[in-house]
Chain A
Amino acid sequence: MAKVERYHSKKAKEITSKTIIYIILVIMAIIWLVPFIYLVIQSFTESYSPSQIIPEHWTFQNYINLFTDEIYPFGRWYLNTLVIAIITAVLQTIITLMTAYAFSRLRFKSRQGYMKLILVIGMFPSFLGMIVTYFLLQLIGLSGSIFGLIVVYCAGAGMGYYVAKGFFDTIPRSLDEAAMIDGANKNTVFWKVILPLSKPIVVYTILMSFTAPWGDYMMASYLAQGKQELFNVAVGLQQMMAKGKDITYFPQFCAGAVIVSIGIMALFFWLQRYYVEGVTGGAVKG
């Protein structure tokens, strides 16, 4: 009799704990989603009013305004960001993987020292030297175009090698050696042996370097020097939300944010598996 009771109480305990977990998860899901639902709803409203969550009249006008507004050329910003993101994704991935490969696989005299140097440089605030960076871009004639931003992103790509190096470290060295015995040189080993095995980290690096330019505010806003035709979406939408205009432009901002987010979100959910792998691997290896 007692045994049965204990069994029942254990089961009851299990059910209560599960119920509590479900309640917490549902509350969290609401907290996590409500702001974004609000964002989408507001993008269809005619004008912003703090106390009105559901708009009286639904309209598509904000999306049309985005691409016709003369004060804020959103279409231009979107195109800028897209071009920057695509080129950066390609170049940055190559540079990052090259650096990671060199530090992971090749043994040379200054390897440890070089890695330490990169670590130390990374400890300075990244935008400290921004005024000089801008001037150097001016010297090479790229200060007035979005390519300046690309150059800056790619120039720093070597410093973000950690995650990829951690991944390369886990590939057995015997593979390299076997290929070398078969007559491959180190260049072939990298392109033909290691890279094909590293699809997860390649995809992760591409995903990271593609999405980063969409959210970069600091560097992009400084290098644009207030010229709207050089803005990326982050700088542009932030300008839209500047003090004084934020209420008028809030619905339009929401529409822009929806357009920007949808693309990135789709990409993200599509490649989620690789992202998780990168995050986990990066955390463990540091």
Chain B
Amino acid sequence: MTNLEYMSLNRTQRFFYKFGSIFVKVPLAIFHFFKKLPRTLGSKVKKAFSPFKNLGTWFLQGDILTKLNFIIMGIGQIPRHQIIRGVLNLVYEIVAILFLILVGIPNFIKLPSFGYVGSVQYETDTPPFIGYMYQDDSFMILLNSVISLAIILILVFLWYTSIRDSYELQRLGEIGKTKTDKSTVKDLVGKDYHKVMLSIPTLGIAIFTIIPLVFMVLVAFTNYNSNHMNPKELFDWVGLGNFEQLLGIASGGNSQVLFVFLQILLWTLIWAFFATFTNYFLGMIVALMINKKGIKLKKLWRTILITTIAVPQFVSLLLISKMLNQDTGVINATLKNLGLITENIKFLTDGILVKVTIIVVNMWIGIPYTMLMCTGILMNIPDDLYESAKIDGASPYKMYMKITLPYMLFVTTPYLISQFVGNINNFNVIYLLSNGGPTFTSVNGEMISTRIYGAGQSDLLITWLYKMSMGEVFKDYGTAAVIGIIVFVIVAFFSLIFYGRSNSVKNEEDFQ
């Protein structure tokens, strides 16, 4: 269809055309992806093998020092004036190998079975008459293995760069040049400045984010829960057992967990959608109202709304949660005194009403953010656009639909995506307001008989995850990790769809 043909369609036809084109575009995109796949894979493989090719070249063409550097890191650097770098490499190699011998290898050996004996029980003379001698700790075995893996990866990387440097120094030496530690230091504030800037952030992220994440992703495939709690008991690999249990396809499994899981998943998506868009559109409308020409006290209105941002969220959420309490809340009591209601309203204890309450309270908290943001952007829309529209006789509604909204949507798409993703992971609002309540009690009229980890009807995946891993009665880290992976997949899915289209990501360099 040409552009002209498209323009001649009326609104409904355009909608159906656009809707229909999705079914053409998506298969086409998939087709192109697979068409390009061999080529991309080919170049990826080539890229992946290039280090090995380099290593071969360096070994064959390297002199004795470079060859020795394959075994003793830094030996090719120290005699060639890069003393500090060489020594650091050597020290790291020694420490890493010692660590691997003392900690890494023993733990790797135990990893397939997570140790042999958890603890030995023995009798004592004093109460409680039972003592435990702790032996293998599955948690420690897994953690040490993950840490060892990280150390091995760093070792391989340093090993590779050290050989590369040694070879480079050798070639420089052949033409009578040299590169000393001094030039390394100079590079650090020059072309290698990013190494200085990113060293601390990287260290922090690696230790406190990546290692725990890798650990937890592995835990998803184990039965680490209250029945197998370290240090008393061992836990073990269960393959996809946790996934099967959650999806109700495990042998002897029960579809009640699946039902609860799907309910929570559905509510998570509904919540993210409504929380994002109610705030976005209402916030925009409020911003338009406040910024309308001739409205007085603009600053006052803005300041009043900002109070919900300025007061720490936990204060406002706990306060509202108490005010909405069914029996002891001030709102129910006041409404009753005024004679408006006879029965207390179950704001936070009715399965459906609680969801409405949460979305409404979230508006109270979220509208000011959008209002602030929109105020800034609205001022950037050129005034002459509106003036020429006015001369052409456009109504305010039309101007909003044709000028304001498209402009806002164009500029704030990244914000909308990050809000949507943030709402999927919005822990505070749910946890502090309703704590996920009321709990599921029955599925299709049948009483819940399996373990659902205290899941409530307003729980999001993220708060359910929290209940699983922090539960007072029963902790199940394995299933919690599975939920974590599922949340990741959902978030990644939505981000991939939208981020690819967002202009500011594509044209990053244009801004500079």
Contacts and interface: CB of A to CB of B under 8 A. Distances in A.
A211 B375 contact: no
A129 B216 contact: yes
Contacts of B411: 283-284
A101 interface: yes
Nearest to B215: A132
User: When A and B form their complex, which 10 residue pairs have the shortest distance between CB atoms, in order from nearest?
Assistant: A129-B212, A286-B414, A158-B201, A280-B376, A155-B204, A50-B333, A155-B208, A132-B212, A283-B415, A268-B310
Given A129-B212, A136-B211, A215-B314, A158 B414 contact: no
Contacts of A247: 328
Nearest to B298: A25
B216 A21 contact: no
B102 to A, nearest CB: 15
A172 interface: yes
A185 B200 CA distance: 20
Contact of B198 (A50, A102, A241, A261): A102
Nearest to A25: B301
B4 to A, nearest CB: 34
Interface string B195-217: 01110111111011111110110
Question: Could you tell me the dominant secondary structure of chain B's interface residues?
Answer: helix
Interface stretch (A29-37, A57-65, A70-78, A197-205): A29-37
A129 B484 CA distance: 10
B208 A133 contact: yes
A218 to B, nearest CB: 6
B375 A276 contact: yes
A7 interface: no
B294 interface: yes
Contact of B205 (A130, A156, A218): A156
B329 to A, nearest CB: 6
B304 A29 contact: yes
Nearest to B286: A28
Given A125-B465, A286-B415, A32 B307 contact: yes
Given A32-B368, A102-B194, A132-B211, 12 more contacts: A24-B289, A51-B336, A98-B198, A106-B194, A132-B215, A156-B204, A185-B189, A187-B196, A217-B314, A218-B431, A284-B504, A286-B417
7 contacts: A120-B492, A128-B212, A131-B212, A136-B212, A185-B189, A254-B319, A261-B315
B318 A185 contact: no
Contacts of B216: 128-129, 132
A279 B201 contact: no
Given A99-B197, A128-B216, A186-B193, A154 B204 contact: yes
Interface string A102-123: 1000101001001000111101
B194 A155 contact: no
Contact of B373 (A120, A172, A237, A283): A283
B427 A218 contact: yes
Contacts of B337: 51
B404 interface: no
A189 to B, nearest CB: 9
A268 B328 contact: no
Contacts of B425: 125-126
Interface string B314-349: 111011111100001110111011000000000000
Give the size category of A's interface with B.
35 or more
B78 interface: no
Given A95-B201, A121-B209, A257-B319, A264 B311 contact: yes
A173 interface: yes
A159 interface: yes
A215 B314 CA distance: 6
A125 B310 CA distance: 25
A182 to B, nearest CB: 15
A39 B212 contact: no
B481 interface: yes
B87 interface: no
A263 to B, nearest CB: 10
B312 A211 contact: yes
B211 A286 contact: no
Nearest to B370: A283
A241 B208 contact: no
B377 A283 contact: yes
A35 B319 contact: yes
Given A25-B290, A250-B322, A286-B415, A38 B303 contact: no
A286 B418 contact: yes
B226 to A, nearest CB: 13
A154 B313 CA distance: 21
A159 to B, nearest CB: 6
Interface string B468-482: 011000000100110
A21 B292 contact: yes
A130 B201 contact: no
B105 interface: no
Contact of A99 (B198, B332, B466, B469): B198
A48 to B, nearest CB: 8
Contacts of A33: 304, 307
A283 B412 contact: yes
Contact of B487 (A125, A250, A272): A125
A284 B377 contact: yes
A8 interface: no
Interface in B477-512: 477, 480-481, 484, 487-488, 491-492, 495, 502, 504-505, 508, 511-512
Contacts of B427: 127, 218
B318 to A, nearest CB: 5
Given A133-B212, A238-B432, A32 B308 contact: yes
B364 interface: yes
B286 to A, nearest CB: 7
B260 interface: no
A272 B303 CA distance: 9
A243 to B, nearest CB: 10
Contacts of A214: 312
A32 B364 contact: yes
Interface in B48-90: none
Contact of B289 (A25, A36, A211): A25
Contacts of B193: 102, 106, 185-187
Nearest to A269: B310
B309 interface: yes
A279 B376 contact: yes
Interface in B87-142: 139
A35 B484 contact: no
Contacts of A277: 376
B488 A124 contact: yes
A48 B201 CA distance: 48
A123 to B, nearest CB: 4
B469 A156 contact: no
A264 B310 contact: yes
